Chains A and B, each alone.
Chain A
Amino acid sequence: MRLADLLEFAWRVVLGYRLRTLLILLAMGIGVAAVVVVSSLGEGARLYVVNQFGSLGTNLVIVLPGRSETAGAMPGVLIGKTPRDLAINDALSLKRSPAILRVAPLIIGVGDVHAGSRSRETPVLGATAEFIAVRQMEMAQGHFLPEGDPRHSQPVCVLGARLASELFGAKQVLGEWLRIGDRRFRVIGVLAKQGQSLGFNTDEIAIIPLAAAQALFNTESLFRILVEAKSREQIPFAKADVEEIIRLRHEGERDITVITQDAVLATFDRILRALTLAVGGIAAISLGVAGIIIMNVMLIAVTQRRKEIGLLKALGATGQQIRLAFFTEAILMALGGATVGLVVGKLGQMAVGQIYPDIPFDAPWWALIAAPLTAIITSVLFTVAPARRAAQLDPVQALAKR
């Protein structure tokens, strides 16, 4: 039998039993669509988290005070204090390293902001002029904190967009005075709207100079130091330099934790990839069930088409050819089901994308290949038994009996 004949033969069979074909297409389609949609949800979540992390800044190295010898705890959950603080001078000394471009020491806390008769409790960030460049945030109005020695502060502050509108309404904000805790600040800038970023809403923060935050919270110690390396390749050197410089300043004690943005990102990336793979796998179980249906239907078909097969064999078709005919049929149906599934899955993904426009839903390339491939492989595997049965039919018996 030529390939063209084989295809036509299988095609006729597929068309001949329309309802049956339709139902198998439905089963396969559900399976493939499920894999596509579920894995695109997982991939969307992964890309979202990765983008969010990327928007924190590029080539970041984060320095936190304290070090624990127990592994296991997530980096970043260290919120406690240490006997030896990270001080402003520690942060400034990091600029000695040739691998480091910018340094942004941070103090964070909660304070009440009063403007006129209105007051709000908001996160307050003590930062320096370089902070905005490191975090890559934009200004909507005015300027960010002025340059200068971070050990001395001017009474100025920068507000998040939402905080500014809540405190001052539609009024002109720049140049207004407000009070945070027991200290007065003049507003010199408003941040552009950025929205939630990893659970922290930058639209609601007030940023004040580092020295002012130290006085406000009555603390010397920095919460974090954000360090920007000169380039991606320089990150390991920057990390080593930070550890060495601080160790020397802290009398030879290694009492800080240094994490790189890349390391954190890689961890999240791995976890979310594994999760996507797991849910995709669970969805793929349905493809196995679809395979069982194909096997069942094929077995019935062998019984029903006894005479036809017997005739083919009597005309000289070998067992090999009969088997091939069945496999072609199975592959045709799997291909059809996969196409239907891919289209429906893409439509579903687009529908979900309409509901959550923030999250970049996109089926990962491996799912787009793996889903149809799994469909074809399962259907071929489950056709092995029926095809064997058909190939082993004795032509005389098949034609004689009924």
Chain B
Amino acid sequence: MRAADFIAFTLASLRAHRLRTFLTALGIAVGIASVILLTSIGEGLHRFVIAEFTQFGTNIINVSPGRIETHGAPLGAVNTVRPLTIDDAIALRKAPFIQVSDPLVQGNGEVRHGGKSRRVTIYGTGADFSRALSMRVAIGEYLPQDDPRTPRAFAVLGSKVARELFGGENPLGVPVRVGGQRYRVAGVMESKGQVLGFDLDDTVFIPVGRALEMFNRESLQEIHLTYEPTAPLAEVEEGIKRILVARHGLEDFTVTPQQKMLEVFGTVLSAITFAVVAIGAISLVVGGVGILTILTIAVAERTAEIGLLRSIGATRQRVLLLFLGEAAVLAAIGGVAGLLLGLSIAQLLQVALPALPVHTPWLYAVLAEAVAVAVGLIAGVLPARHAAQLDPLEALRGE
């Protein structure tokens, strides 16, 4: 049999039972569509999380006190007998490849101006905070480059705080009370919105030295470092550890490069996506059972035809291939339909729910198609073997 005949024969037998072909392909299509849709949502979520993190820059390293972690955050950030100090942060500026080293302490307090007050998150930072996390100042400037141990009383407001306290007025140079102390507004940050549950616009930034005093603590919560983007990460980490170990006598701090954090998030999200897709793929398996059922029926119906084919010289292998080909084509049609269905639902979702990130990588689309054909072939093996092993004489006589 020539290849062209082979294809024509397969297509003809599929066309002969249009409804049957349609329903069988539909089974596969539903499976593929759900797999495509779920991977799209998973991949979209993955990208969303990575974008949330990398908006602060990719070459960031966090150093926090203590080496024990619970709930993903170092416990040492709360209380520790081995504090990280502002002097540590200053010393880290001299570590190799380090561009910016900025101490941070976080708290919660009241901001007051005129008759209005608001409870907000207070960040005690150095002068380089906006540079380290690539955050922009909308008006005025970020905190001035004072000695972080004895800074002047300037504050920078988050955009929401500025709006709530000042309305349309210009806040620059106006005194405000932060946690009961007087500060002068040096600038207002650009709006950043919610980032992973934290509202960065509802914040006030004050110099870290004063924040430590205000909260009556000696340890920083963390130190943000940025390094030259081309520098080898291992050496950067090594340099940080060397300096801090020299200052503290032992390794009583945790160094977390942002890239490592991203990797962890990536692994977790991939695992979840995989699990959900596996559940979705059950439909694909059931679709495969559908192909198996239909081909089994087809072999029984077409016994005479198979007998005839065999008696005019078609080999067993040829018959096997014919049925396998039919199964594969059925599955492939279903796969393409499912792909289109999944993609269009994904697009609809994107229009209907813009907050839900959706992204379909082409690799997955191709993979899904390959999986569909594979499912078809596996489902086709049993009936095709059954057809190939029919005895031509018996088959013809049965009719």
Contact = CB atoms under 8 A, between A and B. Distances in A.
Interface in A58-73: 65-70, 72-73
B285 A282 contact: no
B26 interface: yes
Contacts of B65: 110
Most-contacted residue by chain B among A70, A73, A85, A180 (CB, 10 A): A70
A4 interface: no
A3 interface: no
B293 A297 contact: yes
Given A282-B34, A299-B20, A69 B289 contact: no
Contacts of A242: none
A253 interface: yes
Interface string B269-292: 000000010011011011101101
A169 interface: no
Given A108-B79, A110-B81, A112-B82, A27 B286 contact: yes
Given A111-B81, A121-B252, A292-B26, A80 B292 contact: no
A339 interface: no
A255 B301 CA distance: 80
A189 B296 CA distance: 72
Interface string A96-137: 000000000001111110000000011110000000000000
B221 interface: yes
Contact of A199 (B23, B71, B108, B287): B71
A337 to B, nearest CB: 11
A78 interface: yes
Contacts of B19: 299
B215 A83 contact: yes
B296 to A, nearest CB: 6
Interface residues of B, number: 67
A285 B198 contact: no
Nearest to A81: B215
A85 B77 contact: no
A109 to B, nearest CB: 3
B40 interface: no
B76 A23 contact: no
Chain A interface size band reads: 35 or more
B282 A31 contact: yes
B179 interface: yes
A360 interface: no
Given A82-B108, A121-B252, A296-B294, A110 B26 contact: no
A292 B30 contact: yes
B38 interface: yes
A70 B199 contact: yes
B344 interface: no
B282 A34 contact: yes
A289 interface: yes
Contacts of B34: 282, 285
B290 A293 contact: yes
A181 B252 CA distance: 12
B230 interface: no
A249 interface: no
Interface string A293-318: 10111011000100000000000000
Nearest to A253: B110
A220 B216 contact: yes
Contact of B70 (A123, A285, A293): A123
A181 B20 contact: no
Interface string A1-41: 00000000000000000011001101100110010001000
B334 to A, nearest CB: 10
A219 interface: yes
A123 B75 contact: yes
Contacts of B24: 296
A223 interface: yes
A255 B119 contact: yes
B81 A82 contact: no
A219 B83 CA distance: 12
Contact of A80 (B75, B194, B221): B221
Interface in B33-83: 34, 38, 65-68, 70-73, 75-82
A77 interface: yes
A221 interface: yes
Given A69-B119, A112-B81, A300-B297, A83 B214 contact: yes
B286 A85 contact: no
Contact of B290 (A19, A27, A109): A27
B122 A109 contact: no
B107 interface: yes
19 contacts: A30-B286, A80-B108, A80-B221, A83-B107, A83-B110, A85-B216, A108-B78, A112-B82, A121-B67, A181-B81, A217-B81, A219-B216, A219-B217, A253-B110, A279-B279, A283-B279, A286-B283, A297-B294, A299-B23
Interface of A: 19-20, 23-24, 26-27, 30-31, 34, 38, 65-70, 72-74, 77-83, 85, 107-112, 121-124, 180-182, 198-200, 213, 216-221, 223, 253, 255, 279, 282-283, 285-286, 288-290, 292-293, 295-297, 299-300, 304
